[in-house]
Amino acid sequence: MRSTYSSSPTGRNSDAASGSGVYVHIGLTGLTTQSGNHEVVQDQSFRFELPARYDLDHIQIARNDLRILHDVFQRSPGAVTDLHNAALRGDRESMRKIAHGLGITEEGIKTQGGGMWIYIAGAAVFIAAALLLGGGDGESEPVGQGDSGGGVDGGLPPGGLPQ
């Protein structure tokens, strides 16, 4: 999927050549469905171009995205769980129905001042920076780690989840 966003959410520099040439690539692998007597494993990949310049307009859109997501998680935690489980099953029809019911379609998010891909672009850059720069000399604490328990590992214990 190629992003249709311009380099600025206000529409400045909106021609296709205004992108950065750097893409965020999100992939889901191992999505399993049953087709008759056969198990079918699918991979899905989404790719979108980062804007040529990230500005304060993007920050406001990302704030709106986070507010929208927070509201959905707060209002409908069961439906969010159902959405994630439908994704894990590869059940696109259920995902579409649940997302539509939650109002988290791209159009719905845009009408609330969000842009979704802008937030994801910002998050992807933060994650990449943390992964690329976090280790340093081996002595420093990874980015985002500290009293909050946050960071790129989502607060998981060292080594990840227990087996």
- 96 domain residue, yes or no: yes
Residue 156 within any structural domain of the chain: no
DSSP-based three-state secondary structure for 71: helix
Q: What is the pLDDT of residue 98?
A: 95
Within a domain: 82: yes
Sign of CA dihedral 57, 155, 72, 23: positive
Structural domain count of the chain: 1
Mean pLDDT of all residues in 97-108:
90
* pLDDT tens digits, 54-64: 889 988 998 99
The answer as to whether 8 is a domain residue is: no
In a domain, 9, yes or no: no
Whether residue 143 is predicted with pLDDT greater than 90 in this model: the reply is: no
Which residue, chain included where needed, has tokens 């979108």? 48
The answer on pLDDT for 20 being more than 80 is yes
- Give percent of the chain above pLDDT 70: 71
Q: Which domain holds residue 37?
A: 18-132
Which residue in this structure is represented by tokens 């966003």? 5
Per-residue pLDDT tens for 23-61? 888 887 887 778 899 988 888 888 888 888 888 998 899
pLDDT exceeds 60 at position 12: no
- Is 94 inside a domain boundary? yes
pTM: 0.60
Computed over every residue of the chain, the mean pLDDT equals 74
Q: What is the pLDDT of residue 152?
A: 47
Within a domain: 54? yes
Residue 137 lies in a domain: no
**Burial, 68: exposed, middle or buried (Cβ in 10 Å; 0-12, 13-18, 19+)?**
buried
Q: Any idea what the Cα angle at residue 43 is, between residues 128 and 80, rounded to 5°?
A: 75
